[in-house]
Structure 1
Amino acid sequence: MTQEIDSLYEEAIASGLLPGVSLLAGDKNGNILYSKSFGKASLKEGDNRPFTESTIASIASMSKLMTVVAVLQCVEDGILDLDKDVASLCPGIGKYGLIVGFDDTKNSAIFTPNPTPITLRMLLTHTSGHEYEWNNALLLKWRASRNEQPSSGLTLEEQAALPLVFEPGKGFAYGHGLDWAGKAVESATNLSLDDFMRKRIWTPLGIENDASFYPRAKDSMKDRIADVSTLDKNGKPPAVHFPGFDISGGSTDCFGGAGVYSSTKAYYTFLSSVMRRDPKLLKPSSYEELFRPQLDDRCEQALNDDIISSPIKTQYLGLQIPASIRKTWNLAGLVAKEAQEGRFAQGTTLWGGYPCCEWFIDHESGICGVAICQLVPPMQPDVMALHEKFQRAMFGRVRANL
């Protein structure tokens, strides 16, 4: 079974689909089920570094799980509350109110005041009304009317202080909620999110030299950073080096929703710790809250509708899970409410990251895994299909031993 996975990823490297990738999976008892890396860390001419489990990569939205753990640690400390208004901790959040239309004759967005306070729970579950601009035509028109590019600006407020696309608590949209949640941690602790995670997450797990928001400033990391590669305009191989591409957009703030860089080994160490409910990170009650489904019927339906609302959203948010499988959201990520035959058991939690990365925790089967690479376009279907087969192989291996 593992030989099949070896062959699939070796073929992807040989075909030019993938420059490099690292995979790690293990079980609830701490046993490693699979650990292997393929290809190169860069397609830049003259750079022959291999992609290994120690290669530092942008994990993009896989940062979100780390930020959620940081938030829950602050809740345990009594300095944050999941259900209180975060406006005092996050200056600028929701300042535009709700965007409800656009007047093309005036080249101006139409707004209405937001009547509902935004809470941390809403930010962590994507029910706050925030949505990434690439997902929303109204937000793109609003940016253009201001002569701004999407996701423009160096600070969190410049990038994430967007009009809300629905009243908080009454829908689902994938967006900057975790960036704002990270800002709440910073406001409550008077520490940068990088410093807080180093103190409370990375150092306790022994991964402090392998995770950072600022890897280029770390002597222990700067020479291990992988470069991003890209497929052609149609999303087809062979991949080539993507010079000048910066997933962070040159931002100076810590973006809790997308800003962490990590090695595969470090992220797996973190993910495995979360799956095993390691007391180094959280109390048992916090793990219960982390993995408890959070959406009411209205928001859950909005999530399922959103994933299938366009091909690009299905690609970015669907993680190769059939539309027929009902989904919900917990504080950690996307939850499959039903099993997918041969891939995962009911209640599996999983999520991904922009440059075709993915993680999963299959609670019932007692396994977790991570796949990290540095390729755009984001969540490219052929690459994500490979990661699905990796997950299937790990599931099959564990189930065969039951």
Structure 2
Amino acid sequence: MDIEKATAKGSNGVPGVVMAVVNKDGDYVFKETAGYLSVEEDAAPIQFDTTFSVASFTKLITTIAALQCVERGQITLDEPTDKLLPELAALPLIEPAENAEQPFMLKEATNNITLRHLLTHTSGVCYDVMDPTVMAWRASRGEESMATKPDILKAFGHPRIFEAGESWSYGPSIDWAGFLVGRLNKTTLGEYCEENIFTPLKMESTTWRLDQKPSVEERLMPISLRMPDGKFVTGPANFVSERPIVDELGGAGLHTSVPDYTRVLADLLKESPTLLKKETVDMMFTPQFEVGSKPHDGEYKQAALTSRGLVGGTIHEGIRPILNFGLGAMVTVEDIKTDVYYKPKGTLSWSGMPNLVWAINRELGLAWVYATQILPWDDDFSFNLAMQFETKVWKMKP
């Protein structure tokens, strides 16, 4: 694919992309920029230090923050979080009902929620917009979706869809984990990460709060929205645009650059990481679900919705045992190989809604980032380009 031609200016162009591959020393094995900040005729070329609204890329950062708390002995992965997060513990379970006048039923939950549940999306919380029964609950209150509202208790204080540990659902579990980090340290998630992640790695272009780092906002790539006819229009200002921010969302809302984010990935590749102990990083890459368990089956059932761009579009029954979840992201337990795509065993990866993807493989000693700002998620052009990029990455020498 001719990237420069595909991302050229004009009505038929596609917003630009930044791609990078980094090794455990933090050195770039490959980096490239192509195209422009938008499809407007006067759009400036995209730069390597362009900043992005990275949406669910945020989850990796929050996972690291939570695991730092575990290392300090502030909490364990498997103790109840009820006393620290009583608002979460009090959320009822919701089930669909056959009564048209009352389309849902609520009942009290019984299982305690742990940090491991939060970091593996097995707590029972979901994004409201992804579940019709939860949206019926919203409608009964005269509310619309609050999935990106930067206010934890309002956005994610809705009923849960299953008992903790009994299934898997992509949602705000890691947002609640970030809220927990703040409470454990008597601060906010943003302030905690600034001190314990961003400053140690010299990540000067990373923040939830753009007003605190104007240079990040000045370099922020605007989001472009692809219409049904394939043409682009200007999208929202950034993924989580509401201000003021009540809470930093641990699952979304972060703004960063590829140079900053690859510092985190490179640190996870190191024999002696800066942010975490090596044995803690080992846990991140360890599959958390037994094959055939309720959480494992739940992950597979949602894979077509959440993971197509992470597994080369190969969502079928045969891939069920290959997919698993580590702490904070998806992990592959076997190689995924097709005629056009390759993802090796032991790869930890996830995506961000504006069609961003990251992945890291410690055995190969490489990590990569693909960054753009296109909605809706799973844009075919971006998906195909990222898939081709990933396949080439794993054949590189670190």
C-alpha distance in 2 between matches for 1:277 and 1:180: 30
Please list, as runs of the form range in 1=range in 2, the aligned pairs for 1:139-154 lying within 5 A after superposition: 139-151=134-146, 153-154=149-150
Please list, as runs of the form range in 1=range in 2, the aligned pairs for 1:337-348 lying within 5 A after superposition: 337-341=333-337, 343-348=342-347
Shift of residue 252 of structure 1?
2.6
Shift of residue 172 of structure 1?
0.6
SS in 2 for 1:93: helix
Q: TM-score, normalised by structure 2?
A: 0.90
What is the aligned partner in structure 1 of residue 290 from structure 2? Answer: 296
C-alpha distance in 2 between matches for 1:43 and 1:238: 9
C-alpha distance in 2 between matches for 1:10 and 1:269: 30
SS in 1 for 2:87: coil
8 Å CA contact retained: 2:355, 2:372: yes
Identity of aligned residues (%): 27
Q: 1:258 aligns with which of 248, 252, 255?
A: 252
8 Å CA contact retained: 2:303, 2:315: no
Q: Deviations over 1:61-85 (max 9, x none)?
A: 0110110100011111111221121
SS in 1 for 2:357: strand
Q: Deviations over 1:258-291 (max 9, x none)?
A: 1211011111111111122543101122112221
C-alpha distance in 2 between matches for 1:90 and 1:317: 32
Shift of residue 37 of structure 1?
1.2
Shift of residue 371 of structure 1?
0.8
Q: RMSD of the TM alignment (CA)?
A: 2.3
SS in 1 for 2:169: coil
What is the aligned partner in structure 2 of residue 381 from structure 1? Answer: 380
SS in 2 for 1:204: coil
SS in 2 for 1:142: helix
Shift of residue 337 of structure 1?
1.8
Amino acid at match of 1:22: V
What is the aligned partner in structure 1 of residue 279 from structure 2? Answer: 285
SS in 1 for 2:200: helix
SS in 1 for 2:143: coil
Alpha-carbon spacing, 1:330–1:17, altered in 2? closer, same or farther (3 Å): farther
Q: Does 1:112 align with 2:107?
A: yes
8 Å CA contact retained: 1:95, 1:163: no
What is the aligned partner in structure 2 of residue 27 from structure 1? Answer: 23
C-alpha distance in 2 between matches for 1:287 and 1:226: 31
C-alpha distance in 1 between matches for 2:190 and 2:238: 22
Q: Deviations over 1:282-319 (max 9, x none)?
A: 112211222111113311122112224xxx45657766
8 Å CA contact retained: 1:92, 1:157: yes
C-alpha distance in 2 between matches for 1:99 and 1:319: 34
Q: Does 1:173 align with 2:169?
A: yes
Please list, as runs of the form range in 1=range in 2, the aligned pairs for 1:55-94 lying within 5 A after superposition: 55-94=50-89
C-alpha distance in 2 between matches for 1:317 and 1:130: 22
Q: TM-score, normalised by structure 1?
A: 0.89
Amino acid at match of 1:166: F
Number of residue equivalences? 387
Give ranges in structure 1 of 5+ residues lacking alignment.
Answer: none
Q: Which moved more, 1:172-181 or 1:324-333?
A: 324-333
Q: 1:136 aligns with which of 131, 143, 148?
A: 131
SS in 1 for 2:363: coil
Alpha-carbon spacing, 1:118–1:229, altered in 2? closer, same or farther (3 Å): same
C-alpha distance in 1 between matches for 2:196 and 2:312: 30
Give ranges in structure 2 of 5+ residues lacking alignment.
Answer: none
Shift of residue 105 of structure 1?
3.6
Q: 2:49 aligns with which of 46, 50, 54?
A: 54
Q: Deviations over 1:211-240 (max 9, x none)?
A: 0001233133221111111000x2x53322
